Amino acid sequence: MMNVTIKISSLFRKFTDGQEFVKVTGNNTVECLHELEARFPKIKRWLYDKQGNLRPQIWFFVNGQKISADDLTKPLNDGDELFFVLAISGG
Amino acid sequence: MLDKSELARYERQILIPGWSKSGQEKLKKAKVLVAGVGGLGSAILTYLAVAGVGRIKIIDGDKVELSNLNRQVLHSDKDIGRDKVDSAKEKLEVLNPQINVEAIKETIDENNVFDILGDYLIVDAMDNLPARFLLNKVAVKKKLPLFHGAVYGFEGRATTVVPGKTACLRCLYQGVIPGKIPVVGVTPAIIGCIQASEVLKYILGIGELLTDRLLIYDGLSMKFSEVRLKRDPNCCECR
């Protein structure tokens, strides 16, 4: 299992007790998210739709590089930083 | 050529390295369209106008409402009920009488977007994703740059799309969660100023653009961060 830091964007920090960084372990993005949800269950409804699929309105980045839906199960490395943000469109 | 009053008006920015009189002349000849005269549009338009962008086209189909006034600083109480484009044009012409502002009171759609945008540089100051996708579609087809910004509460984002070279909005967005968007005026002001800066740099050919980079502004912790974007090889718009 890899040690991964999840950076929490401001819109989601209300679900992580204000924490900007949460340390988790997992082999890929999906596994890391599962640990995050287990510790902060309220975040789950923002990450998944009613069918239980990850919302396409969430953008994921590993070490600052955007990844696609296909990359969510690709192996992460020890020390990687996972970051996700909600797509927004206000003007 | 710049006349005496223009040289005086723009004196301080002409001093910026890489700007000079020739840069100011480029701005005078430039054509920029700002789609949306809301929170983002108010900031973008204000600073493009005072910087001396010679031809500015603004498009918005809405009228000014009281609930706009916490962030849309080109409008005020006396403008409530007026077309936003008329209210904005009036203010911009006061701010800088030496530029040309064209106001188009329309909602862009598939039928009019290509004609309205013409060959203008495109600034995305819209408040909804379908309209943003229309702008993106024209930008990609006509290979025109698109300067994107979006806000939510105290958070904002900006990126610059150069079709054929960078990720486009369709590479990035697969929808947004519906609902009324919370926003405080300072957020679109900051993001709008970033978009305006990008436009000026693009026209002048100076600095480094926000291409393939998404700037994320977090006003609550007062931090800027940046992530890298890449073109989606399966993008429905730009592949």
Residue ranges with strand state E in A9-45? 21-26
CATH of the domain at B41: 3.40.50.720
Domain A2-86 listed as CATH 3.10.20.30:
yes
Quick check: B181 contacting A, CB < 8 Å? yes
Asked whether residue B239 is assigned to any structural domain, the reply reads no
How wide is the angle at C-alpha B213 spanned by C-alphas B208 and B215, nearest 5°? 95
What are the 10-residue block averages of pLDDT along chain A, 91 residues in total? 95 94 97 97 93 93 95 97 95 96
Contact (CB<8Å) A91/B175: no
pLDDT, tens only, B91-147: 999 999 999 999 999 999 999 999 999 999 999 999 999 999 999 999 999 999 999
> d(Cα A25, Cα A21) in Å, to the nearest integer?
13
Judge whether B36 lies within some domain.
yes
- Using a CB-CB cut-off of 8 Å, the residues of chain A touching B232 are 68
Two structure tokens written together for B211: 């291409």
Q: What range defines the domain where residue B204 resides?
A: 4-228
Paired tokens of B13: 């920015």
- Measured CA to CA, the distance from residue B1 to residue B20 in angstroms comes to 13
With 0-12 CB in 10 A as exposed, 13-18 as middle and 19+ as buried, what is B78?
exposed
The per-residue pLDDT for range B214-236, each reduced to its tens digit, is 999 999 999 999 999 999 999 99
Within an 8 Å CB–CB cutoff, is residue A90 touching chain B? yes
Contact status of B127 with chain A (Cβ, < 8 Å): yes
Enter the tokens of residue B34.
């700002």
Instruction: Show the tokens assigned to A15.
Output: 């679900």
| pLDDT of B178 above 90 | no
For residue B194, give both structure tokens.
């970033």
B120 falls within a domain: yes
The chain B residue lying nearest A83, using CA atoms, is: B227
Model pLDDT, residue B179: 87
Question: Is A88 an 8 Å CB contact of chain B?
Answer: yes
Evaluate whether residue B148 is within a structural domain.
yes
pLDDT at B186: 98
Structural domain spans, chain A: 2-86
The tens digit of pLDDT for each residue in B148-172 reads 999 999 999 999 999 999 999 999 9
Total number of domains constituting chain B: 1
Exposure string for A79-91, b = 16+ CB within 10 A, e = fewer:
ebebbbbbbbbbb
> Quick one: closest CA in A to B68, which residue?
A91
Least CB–CB distance from B176: residue in A9, A83, A88: A88
Q: Cα separation of B16 and A63, whole Å? A: 35
State whether residue A52 sits within 8 Å of chain B by CB: no
Tell whether B224 is within 8 A of chain A (Cβ).
no
SS3 label, residue A85: strand
CA distance B17 to B221: 33
Q: For chain B, what is the mean pLDDT?
A: 97
Q: Tell which B residues from 35 to 94 touch A, by Cβ distance under 8 Å.
A: 36, 38-41
